[in-house]
Amino acid sequence: MNEEEKSKSPGRAIDRRDFLQGLAGVPVIGAFALAALKQESFRRASRARQAAATAGGEAPAELRIALLGVGAQGSVLLNSMLKIPGLRFQAVCDIWTEYNLKRAGNLLKKYGHEAALYHDYREMLDKEKGLDAVVIATPDFWHADHTIACLQAGLHVYCEKEMSNTLEGARRMVQAARESGKLLQIGHQRRSNPRYIFCRDTLLQELQLIGRPVTAFGQWNRSAAPDLGWPKKYEIPADQLRRYGYDSMAQFCNWRWYKKLGGGPIVDLGSHQIDIFSWFLGANPKSVQASGGTDYYDKSTHEWYDTVLATYEYETPAGLVRAHYKTQTTNGSLGYFEQFMGDQGTLVISESAGMGLVYREKANAPSWDEWVRKGYLTEPKLIEVKAESESDSLDVRETISPDEHRIALQFNDPYHKPHLENFFSAVRGKGKLNCPAEVGYESAVAVLKVNEAVEARKTLDFSPEEFKI
Amino acid sequence: MNETRLSTFQWTTLVTLRMLVGWHFLYEGVAKLLKGNWSAYGFLMESKWIFAEYFHALAGNATVLSVVNTMNIWGLILIGLGLIMGLFTRIAAGGGILLILLYYVCNPPFVGLFYSIPMEGHYLFVNKNLVELGALLVLIAIPSQQVAGLDRILYKLIKK
């Protein structure tokens, strides 16, 4: 009797065979449950890793802080610091008393901080007692004097980048930090960004994800914009401006374009990303060539170059890497990011919009499935060729190399918050600075030479000694 | 069924086919359930062809959409369990056909329709949905659950 007849014999008692074959699905359900649970635990592990990266800590003892310079960048830092527990804002100093200083004072009042307001930093350092640290966000040409005065007053300093508009100023800052024994953190905030740390420490160094690095690229594009203006009723008196180094209110508001005050876009923007070149590649550059100029704006009010293209050579432990950097302030398309290419993959990362992508070179790279399972990367997305027109779009949904993965780690805090937290932790004696004076100096050496190379119109070499103090 | 007799091998392949389809249904449902925030929204909004308006309307109403999502998830899970265990197999297979038919007419791979949701292959009229629908038709036509599945026991109990 075959199966079908057996099963079709009604009225028969349920025998052992019915029972066994009736439950044929049970082992399959068992296997399914095991597989699904395993899969789910991988997913949870990956999520937990992401959540851990954004978790906060407990409230520490209060630090007393003064702010020196609360313009645009100072406000960005202040807004980040207001999200950090354990800070007491005791004093604020800015020469634009009717505008910047009032605005910062009012904001602090709203958050319950009664800060004393100053227009002269020497007066502030003289009168304010019990301060722990100063956060400096003044124009670049003031950084050296402000930082050194604060260090000498026995305070720890967080100073915005660029460390100084001159190497001589930057050098004096390093020396003052060493002599005072106080901490000096330079504001290259990507060095504390968990996404950047993850890319460098885990993806590039531990996993060697991109293989042998060969080239790097970075850019920061900004739309053309008129000069910054100011409300006429809040104008700073001319003698006050001159006392602090400015010829006019226009120059005060647009200091970044003037040679004696700032370093231009390559320093304001490029410095962040050229710092990432050195940090990720584990080397200082050995040469730079550059082309740049004020091509678009009025040269009399835009002394520094509105467009700069620079190419560095890095002698890295893995071999020579060529790195190209571009900044233009006349078109904002494609924004800003840094890109590292090796023989096994490409890393594209930006501070903005949480962008973090890696592309696997299918021809040369080992499987990355393990890194997906461990929650380092998202599942690969097949890159599709988009149809040029409707008529040819039927056949173009081909998969071509490479696979695109996103970096699974997310970071949703204000960009500067982790770097400031790193500074305050170090002030409390917990942990080391992520960008101490010496590192900020190395970065300044690499960046400031671009402007020299533009002027020299030839390749300039760095000697290893240039980066040391 | 009486004219033709199937060998043990033939029954085994049929039961295997049922398990495979069942596994796929079950995990499609379980994965959506575990994801927590899964929604059919994107799929429905991609809809082309003559029923597009109807599917877009389903996606456009939050209450209706959440009912659609829940029904889809639990439908997939119950159909998957039914097919694997061979329990109420015909109802499960029929339900599966209905669901797949909805997926198919929502986004059919017809000449001249192009979708922006990623697909892993190339389809014209016949896609994997339609193949699975065909498999379910076979499973309705030939009752493998009477050989291996809880329906075999159920059948005996009822006949008693």
User: pLDDT, tens digit, for every residue of A142-185?
Assistant: 999 999 999 999 999 999 999 999 999 999 999 999 999 999 99
Are A160 and A213 contained in the same domain? Answer: no
- The parent domain of residue A365 ranges over 193-410+437-467
Given this model, what pLDDT does residue A1 score?
43
Give the residue with greater pLDDT, A385 vs B160: B160
Check whether residue A164 and residue A213 sit in a common domain: no
Last residue of a domain, one of A140, A163, A190: A190
Pairing type for strands A213-221 and A184-186 reads: unpaired
Band of residue A55 on the pLDDT scale cut at 50, 70, 90 = low
> Do the domain assignments include residue A41?
no
Average pLDDT of the residues in A335-358: 94
Beta carbons of A14 and B122 less than 8 Å apart: no
Mean pLDDT (chain B) is: 88
Among the candidates A190, A220, A238, a domain finishes at A190
From the list B146, B147, B156, the residue facing A12 with the nearest CB is: B156
Does a structural domain hold residue A15? no
Q: What number is the average pLDDT over the span A349-371?
A: 90
* A256/A315 same-domain check: yes
Tokens of A417: 């918050």
In this predicted structure, what is the pLDDT of residue B123? 84
- Claim: this prediction has a pTM higher than 0.90: no
- CATH classification at residue A259: 3.30.360.10
| Residue A42 with chain B: CB contacts under 8 Å | none
Q: Are residues A185 and A217 in the same domain?
A: no
Residues A263 and A236 in one domain: yes
A166 with A197, same domain? no
Higher-confidence residue of B60 and A194: namely: A194
Indicate the number of domains in chain A.
2
CATH number of residue A77's parent domain:
3.40.50.720
Shared domain check, A454 and A313: yes
Q: Are A200 and A177 members of one domain?
A: no
Please list every residue in chain B whose beta carbon sits closer than 8 Å to the beta carbon of residue A24: 15, 86, 148-149
How far apart, in whole angstroms, are the C-alpha atoms of residue A404 and residue B160?
61
Distant-in-sequence, close-in-space partners of A343: CB < 8 Å, separation ≥ 6: A210, A211, A212, A214, A361, A364
- A179 and A201 assigned to the same domain: no
Is A461 a domain residue?
Answer: yes
CA distance A342 to chain B (A): 28
Edge to edge, the sheet with strand A63-68 lists A116-118, A87-93, A63-68, A133-136, A156-159, A184-186
Is the confidence at residue B146, as pLDDT, over 90? no
Residue A398 pLDDT greater than 60, yes or no: no
Domain assignment present for A48: no
Instruction: State whether A169 and A154 are in the same domain.
Output: yes
pLDDT tops 70 at residue A364: yes
pLDDT at residue number A9: 53
Does the pLDDT of residue A319 top 90, yes or no? yes
Query: Do the Cβ atoms of B34 and A390 come within 8 Å?
Result: no
Residue ending a domain, among A167, A190, A213, is A190
Residue A418 within any structural domain of the chain: no
Contact B84 A381 (CB under 8 A): no
Residues A209 and A159 in one domain: no
Examine residue A37 and state whether it is found in any structural domain, yes or no: no
Domain presence at residue A329: yes
Cα B57 to Cα B49, B63, B93, B104: the distances in Å are 14, 11, 27, 17
Residue A2: pLDDT above 90?
no
Q: Give the pLDDT band of residue B154 (cuts 50, 70, 90).
A: confident
The answer to whether residues A232 and A179 belong to one domain is no
Between A51 and B90, name the one with better pLDDT: B90
